[in-house]
Chain A
Amino acid sequence: MSGVNGTALAVFIFFFVLVTAMGFLAARWRKAENSNSLDEWGLGGRSFGTWVTWFLLGGDLYTAYTFVAVPAAIYAAGAAGFFAVPYTILVYPLIFTFLPRLWSVSHRHGYVTTSDFVRGRFGSKGLSLAVAVTGILATMPYIALQLVGIQAVLDVMGVGGSESTHWFLKDLPLLIAFAVLAAYTYSSGLRAPALIAFVKDTLIYIVIVVAIIYIPVKLGGFDDIFAKAGEALSQNNPATGKPKGELFSGPNNQWAYATLAFGSALALFMYPHSITATLSSGSRNVIRRNTTILPLYSLMLGLLALLGFMAIAAGIKVENGQLAIPQLFENMFPDWFAGVAFAAIGIGALVPAAIMSIAAANLFTRNIYKDFIRPDATPAQETKVSKIVSLLVKVGALVFVLGMDKTVAINFQLLGGIWILQTFPSLVGGLFTRWFHRWALLAGWAVGMLYGTITAYNVSSPVQKHFGGSNDIIPGIGQMGYIGLTAFVLNAVVAVVLTFVLRALKAPDGIDETRPSDYTADAGDPGVKEELPAPTAAP
């Protein structure tokens, strides 16, 4: 990396200023009469149609980190990194099955978060708190990784990062990006990322289409790329003495590949930010229709993953794998287009970071502040608390990124995925049946969390003593598999067994405030709130 890439930086700044303006103007877009309710600020008035929801969900799920990390994983290990494709394929049938039910019951009862639902369904504040805390814990490192994504881009452009020595100058660009993000999320709420997502996705699609045609042509076609990559991957890694990776998943890695894809698919829609984007849609069918058009993003992700092989074939040598793709762009593209690509990644970080911080803030406000601290909080107070918490969450993420080693953020992200999966039985179980006992679900959650955390901690790799990867031997099967999925199975088994026991002992069951018809209600049905009425007047 030599000096600052002026042209690329100028293009990057242009797009950054553009989306900043959009972020602030978003407050006026589709504005409701009252912006002081949490529904308005935190769910965009719950009125988004198919296309806005599509952009929002796409912007939300396919983050800058995804764009950097998936090809980086392929760059490092080959086929194993491609699990992201089956993972995102499996996500949609799952969403199709359970999210419309969550949408319906949330609109009948005015739930903003998954914990709201769990509390209403099982009448258990304890279980709801467990779900809320897990959600917040899992989201924080995810936000931190978005900032890591921006940092990678800034680094390659020659601003900040490793180049400067002064700590303040080094982190200044990131601080500016962060301050801007925080300011417009605070003022515009969910509308800001929804609007910016249009720019982000358009840029990303352009970059991918160009990259997937232009780079292979420059490198002599896919035949050459895979021949070179295969050769590079078959060489021994000096740290392990084994080949670095493979071109397809070998017999010993297939369990790991499948469980990682399946477990990640189950986990994705447990994340608070994906639920926030879903609940903001205007009807049940918006969600179902979206599951048929969202796979376009999976296709893009697959193409993007191939860039990892191109980086190997192009002879990109970086110490930090996260820099492989930005560096590939810098080497291959003319400066101005590299700027566009960097802007795509940078903005790609802002959208999910905004949605994630809003989602975490909603969880805190609804399920910790209102349930435990101030039960009589008005909607206006709720909104205020949420806004402040969304700021705090982002500051927390920033401290994480600046104060600690990047691997810490990645380790926690790995743990976050394992943790969030443990809320699945309470949420999805609750959507389909009331059979589970609240205490059994809580016990299952605790077992899953403990097993997952301890097992992940004990995984060592040649470079890391702890948190060396997301796979471990599956007890009873003897193959390597995703820890999160094993923990989830344990969790479910405990929940089922204990439910039998507790029912036999006639342990007190919580009160269920929902009715079976709540789960199939649609917009326009009686009792379905299109937008919740807010009791306070607009300022």
Chain B
Amino acid sequence: MPAPPESQETESPVITPTRVVIGLCLFVPFIAMLWVGSYARVEPTFIGLPFFYWYQMLWVPLSAVLTMTAYKLVKREDAKRRAQREGDAR
């Protein structure tokens, strides 16, 4: 590929345990929401709402918490990488 070589070849590995966790946090909502069969029913109802509706709405805060976790982890990892890079440059 014609892209010019990067100066910082001493990158830390692309796949780290933190990144795997970040990936999972972002991926889980897809399984939960796209597996429609897992929630396509009326019972149990909640304040009169069929399961189908309250379950999907429950996933709104759940996925928000997961994204929030991913965000915190990404920020920590970014800071670490930056610090490392600056250390290397010195």
Contacts and interface: CB of A to CB of B under 8 A. Distances in A.
Interface of A: 79, 82, 85-86, 89-90, 92-93, 96-97, 221-226, 247-251, 254, 257-258, 261-262, 285, 288-289, 291-293, 295-296, 298-299, 302-303, 306, 434-435, 509, 511-512, 514-517
Contacts of A293: 64
B75 interface: yes
B33 A86 contact: yes
B87 interface: no
Contacts of B2: 509, 511-512
Contacts of B70: 93, 96
B86 to A, nearest CB: 12
Interface string B13-52: 0000000000001110110011111011110010111111
Interface residues of B, number: 42
A511 B4 CA distance: 11
A contact patch SS: helix
Nearest to A254: B36
A321 to B, nearest CB: 20
B6 A226 contact: no
Nearest to A289: B71
A298 B37 CA distance: 21
Interface of B: 1-4, 6, 8, 25-27, 29-30, 33-37, 39-42, 45, 47-53, 56-57, 59-61, 63-64, 66-68, 70-71, 74-75
Given A97-B26, A292-B64, A86 B34 contact: yes
Nearest to A221: B48
A517 B85 CA distance: 12
Nearest to A93: B26
B56 A85 contact: yes
Nearest to B23: A97
B33 A254 contact: no
Contact of B52 (A82, A221, A258): A82
A226 B49 contact: yes
Nearest to A222: B48
B30 A90 contact: yes
B43 to A, nearest CB: 10
B27 A93 contact: yes
Given A82-B56, A86-B56, A93-B29, A258 B34 contact: yes
Contacts of A97: 26
A227 B68 CA distance: 37
Interface centre among B25, B27, B37, B63 (most CB of A within 10 A): B63
Given A248-B52, A258-B34, A302 B26 contact: no
Nearest to B6: A516
Given A226-B49, A249-B52, A90 B40 contact: no
Contacts of B35: 258
Nearest to A297: B60
A254 B37 CA distance: 7
Nearest to A257: B36
A70 to B, nearest CB: 13
Given A82-B53, A96-B26, A222-B49, 18 more contacts: A85-B60, A89-B29, A92-B63, A93-B25, A93-B27, A93-B66, A93-B70, A96-B70, A248-B40, A248-B52, A254-B36, A254-B40, A257-B36, A298-B60, A299-B60, A299-B61, A512-B3, A516-B3
